[in-house]
Amino acid sequence: MVTQEESSFLLSTEARESVREQNNTKHHQLKNLLTTLSKNVSDNTTNPSSNSISPSYLPKPVPRPGLKLLKEFPASSNPAIKDALSKHGPFRHENYSAINNDNSFVKRQKYGPIGLENGDVYEGEWVEDRREGYGKLVSVAGFFFDGFWKDNVAHGRGRLININGDMYEGDWENGKYHGRGTFIGANGYQYTGDWSQDMQHGSGSEYWPDGSCYEGEYKLSKKHGKGVFKWANGEKYTGEFTMNNMHGNGVYEWPNGQKYFGYWSENKIMGEGRLEQPKATGQKMGEWEKKVLLSPDCAIYKRELKSKGGEEDLTVDPRYRFGNN
């Protein structure tokens, strides 16, 4: 006669055997499935014309039809671009990859140099049929871009070298300078600061080849707000600007120590002000009316004294206008 304890033991033994048989069955089924998948992959790679479906994880030869895979990325033959690359060194994209990877969950595929439909050559990362991630491009027009992309346009951190050697390195948004960046002209001009939609906007600083400089606020690529402009001859204006003009309260200083404190209207002394002379000469108070000194209108000014009255003739040197750098 089987006791209650023996009956419980036999039942648990039978249950364990049943589970073991089920596991063995599942193991054989999984093994057969893996064997079938392996055979399909092998057949598809050795016989591309077979009707078997390609696994989705196998990379495409090119991201989309109409593109051409090239043997190597073309080196620029433009002397200005070569000189800029030699002067500034390579773009260190690895320093920015983490902060620009705003779509880290998206699987990117890297491709070698690919000829695009318009003749440009791109080497780098893609998401499906779009340039996205890090990559570099040489355009048919001649410029060179090295940096991050999103939806086929520059987006994130990157460097553009133009055909004349001008270079911008900084933040991009939807193909435009946007954020913080530095523009360096081939002639030595430089701006470092805030950008908005390709325009200087926010705070920044400019430097010209002759040693003149400005540091302050900008609006729509014009000096606007508070700032300091220093000329190569040692003169300096500290105060308010309105759309590239000295306008508002400001202080103008000369190398000999003379200073003018007062209000300015479109680069002209206007209203009540104070002129401080160095040492024993003291100061003069009075009203000033439309006396033009000079204007920092995004340019370097040549100051030539006329023989009569000692007034200043202000002429613009167009080489240093921002738009022509």
Please tell me whether residues 172 and 228 are part of one structural domain: no
Please tell me whether residues 317 and 235 are part of one structural domain: yes
Of 316, 202, 209, the C-alpha closest to 267 is 316
Give the β-pairing of 190-196 and 176-184.
antiparallel
Domain containing 162 equals: 68-176
pLDDT by residue for the chain (325 residues), tens only, comes to 544 544 443 345 555 566 466 656 655 554 554 454 444 434 444 444 444 434 444 456 788 888 999 999 998 888 999 999 999 998 988 877 645 555 555 688 999 899 999 999 999 999 999 999 999 999 999 999 999 999 999 999 999 999 999 999 999 999 999 999 999 999 999 999 999 999 999 999 999 999 999 999 999 999 999 999 999 999 999 999 999 999 999 999 999 989 999 999 999 988 888 988 876 555 555 554 444 444 343 233 333 323 333 333 333 333 333 333 3
pTM for the model: 0.69
Neighbours of 151 (CB within 10 A): 11
Sequence letter at residue 277: Q
Neighbours of 135 (CB within 10 A): 23
Please tell me whether residues 239 and 128 are part of one structural domain: no
Of 317, 84, 300, the C-alpha closest to 207 is 300
- Domain at 248, CATH number: 2.20.110
H or E, element range at 97: helix 97-100
Please tell me whether residues 207 and 290 are part of one structural domain: yes
Reported residue count of the chain is 325
In a domain, 160, yes or no: yes
In a domain, 167, yes or no: yes
Please tell me whether residues 112 and 213 are part of one structural domain: no
The count of structural domains within the chain is 2
Of 312, 271, 274, 276, the C-alpha closest to 290 is 271
In a domain, 13, yes or no: no
Neighbours of 201 (CB within 10 A): 20
In a domain, 8, yes or no: no
Which tokens in the block code for residue 281?
């000469």
- Tracing tokens 């002639």 back to the chain, one arrives at 187
Q: 176, 193, 227: which is the final residue of a domain?
A: 176
In a domain, 304, yes or no: yes
Please tell me whether residues 106 and 219 are part of one structural domain: no
